[in-house]
Amino acid sequence: MELLKLLGIVIVIAGFALKLDSILVILVAAVVTALVGGLGPVTLLETLGSTFVANRSMAIFIIVMLVTGTLERNGLREAAAALIGKFKGATSGLVIGIYGVMRSIFAAFNVGFGGVAGFVRPVIMPMAEGAIVAQGYEPNEEHVEELKGMASGMENITWFFGQVLFVGGSGGLLVQSTLAGLGIEVELAQLAAIEIPVCIIATVVAIVFYVIKDRKMIQKYYK
């Protein structure tokens, strides 16, 4: 009986392996797990509702995804590519670098753009590909895959180091509580001040690395 409670995990694995609709697979797995675990329909709905309310910040993520999907369907990617295409000297590495600077600044104010799925994929990647086209080349598939990793890496680096600059943010509170457990008392303002040069150095190093890497890939795939 205990093993039957893991049936939901089997359904998720099988559904993803067969490339079925993700939402449908998860919904079926949740219902099956609830039934096997002895939860009735009413209890299942109550559990889902209370969990959603407890994690209502996820609703913002869902709204961002819906808005981004709608804009992308109506030409967001094409518009982003056309915009960067007007700048003949732009390169993919430079586009990602500029995004890194912007991301660090907004991260310091705890402002998010939707992350990799909500902003990098529909906006930054089309601009990066548009920069390749603006140079007169047809985007190479391997180059584009590398750019996806670079853009996602820039998002993670700048958000990781930038969010601690926001006094009262989750990153700063985590560091403060960890140090307090070690007997070191620090103020959040002190942490933010110490983090400023760290964030700047991390962002600059990432930009330089990605710009150089992009130039090498241009030489490799197009020249």
Are 131 and 188 in a shared domain?
Answer: yes
Q: Which residues fall within 8 angstroms of residue 20, CB to CB, at 6 or more apart?
A: none
Are 136 and 213 in a shared domain?
Answer: yes
Question: Which pLDDT score, from 0 to 100, does residue 46 have?
Answer: 76
Are 14 and 114 in a shared domain?
Answer: no
List the chain residues with pLDDT less than 50: none
d(CA 7, CA 67): 34
Handedness of CA 80, 141, 64, 19 (dihedral sign): positive
Are 16 and 97 in a shared domain?
Answer: no
Is 184 in contact with 130 (CB distance < 8 Å)? no
Q: Does 67 fall in a domain? A: no
Place of tokens 């993670």: 156
Are 15 and 106 in a shared domain?
Answer: no
Place of tokens 């926001």: 166
Q: What is the DSSP letter of 86?
A: T
> pLDDT (tens digit, 9 = 90+) per residue, 151-175?
999 999 999 898 888 877 777 788 8
pTM above 0.75, yes or no: no
> How many CB atoms sit inside 10 A of residue 3's CB?
8
Q: Does 94 fall in a domain? A: yes
Are 87 and 45 in a shared domain?
Answer: no
| Domain residue limits at 92 | 77-222
Are 28 and 124 in a shared domain?
Answer: no
- In residues, how long is the chain? 223
Are 45 and 83 in a shared domain?
Answer: no
Q: What is the DSSP letter of 140?
A: P
Number of domains in the chain: 2
In the numeric block, which tokens belong to residue 148?
Answer: 């996806």
d(CA 7, CA 24): 15
